[in-house]
Structure 1
Amino acid sequence: MKWTNQAELIKQLTDRQLVNQVYLTQLIILILTIGGSFFLFDSLEEVADLFRWNTQQVIFYGISAGVVVLIIDIILMVLLPARFYDDGGINKRVFRSISVLEIFVIALLVAFAEELLFRGVIHTHFGYIIASVLFALMHVRYLTKPVLFVSVLFISFYFGWMYEITHLLWVTIIAHFMVDFVLGVMIRFNVMR
């Protein structure tokens, strides 16, 4: 499918249909993750080990990573022309049409599903670099937007590094959730362009 065909298809969707596509995509990611886990993990204990909790590390690494990414993103959004952050209007259409509660739910679902797949399964079994690059490539609509692509690549490697240091999936889930939730709320209330 050509990029223009994809953009045209997205334009034909209502905002609600676009939001539903987000839910569907995350469901597919969760199904792939569960399926891959059956083949890649030796036991349920190994999977459960991904979800260990360490409050000190979650605060120090997870929350601080989320704050760092948010600060950098906000600075870049202020300094760079709006066209550099334009994803074709998809994020605006998704977040401006839903409540803060639904932004919370979507941000939590996206953070959980994507971090479980990319850090929990792919990073754990295939390594830091492969997981980080695949995470960035999954955001295919950013491939033609250099600032957005470099940004998501940086975030992917940064969150992967946090996972590499801590081996705690909650660290990356919380950091990812913070970024998506805060930026989603900012879009919802038109805080940034």
Structure 2
Amino acid sequence: MIMNKQAELIKKLTDRELLLNLYLTQLLMLAVVVVLSKIMHGSWFYPLRFLTWNGPHFLIGAGTALLVVLIELSAVKYLPKAWFDDGGINERIFHNRSPLHIGFLSLFISISEELLFRGVLQTAFGLVPASLIFAVIHVRYLHSFFLFSFTVGLSFFLGYLYWLTGNLLTVISCHFFIDTLLGLAIRYKVLDKLQKRA
């Protein structure tokens, strides 16, 4: 019922309003990061102590992102199109964006979400609770068993990468490259072409 109401509300938004809503959501997430950091860890910017430049960690994030994207593109090609229906939200967000805007948007999303879910929540509660919250917060996927399962798997994978390296750079770079590459795939209709060949 709630998801149906949300879907109807999203349909009434223009593409510009949808994009603005996305930016506001990410800004709200950053505000939550700061507040929860102070409440739970005693420091306003607690997650930043886990963000350091490390070349190998960056490459691990980028390399695993490429693997995830290849898996998703293969799934798009060989699995039913209906399994990937998110209500057209990703299509509306990315289809008219410039590559530079897609990259900026992906960076903004990856930083805000990973600071919250890995830097604050996983540090406080562990991998499993943080990963499940990450999956559930992507509410538009809850109606699709495949998309939700894929999101849960990706969430645990990102959590494991963070646990493995202890560096937010790894998961931010992984998240960034996944979103950027898939955003570009939507922008240049790669997904449509793959689905037509299936």
Report the TM-score when normalising by structure 2: 0.92
Partner in structure 2 of residue 157 of structure 1 = 156
Distance 1:46 1:144, change over 3 A: closer
Calculate percent identity across the aligned residue pairs: 40
Deviation at 1:95, TM superposition (A): 0.5
CA distance in 2, matches of 1:17, 1:43: 34
2:21 counterpart residue number: 21
1:112–1:173 Cα contact (<8 Å) kept: yes
Report the counterpart of residue 96 of structure 1 in structure 2.
Answer: 95
Could you say what the CA RMSD is over the residues aligned between the two structures, in angstroms?
Answer: 1.4
Cα distance in 2, alignment partners of residues 171 and 14 from structure 1: 34
Segments of 5+ residues of structure 1 without an aligned counterpart are: none
**Residue of structure 1 in register with 2:196 after alignment:** none
Distance 1:168 1:64 in 2: 15
Structure 1 segments, 4+ long, off by >6 Å, are none
For structure 2, the residue ranges without an aligned partner over 5 or more in a row are: 193-198
1:58 CA drift (Å): 2.1
Q: Which residue of 2 aligns with 1:132?
A: 131
Match of 1:182 in 2: 181
Number of paired residues?
A: 192
Shift of 1:67: 1.3
TM-score by length of 1: 0.95
Name the aligned partner's letter for residue 51 of structure 2: F
Separation in 1, partners of 2:123, 2:69? 26
Deviates more, 1:3-12 or 1:151-160: 3-12
Contact 1:16 1:97 in 2 (8 A): no
Moved more, 164-173 or 1-10: 1-10
SS of 1:144's equivalent in the other structure is coil
Deviation at 1:48, TM superposition (A): 3.5
Once the two structures are superposed, the pairs formed by residues 4-19 of structure 1 within 5 Å of their partners are 4-19=4-19
Worse-matched range after superposition: 28-37 or 42-51: 42-51
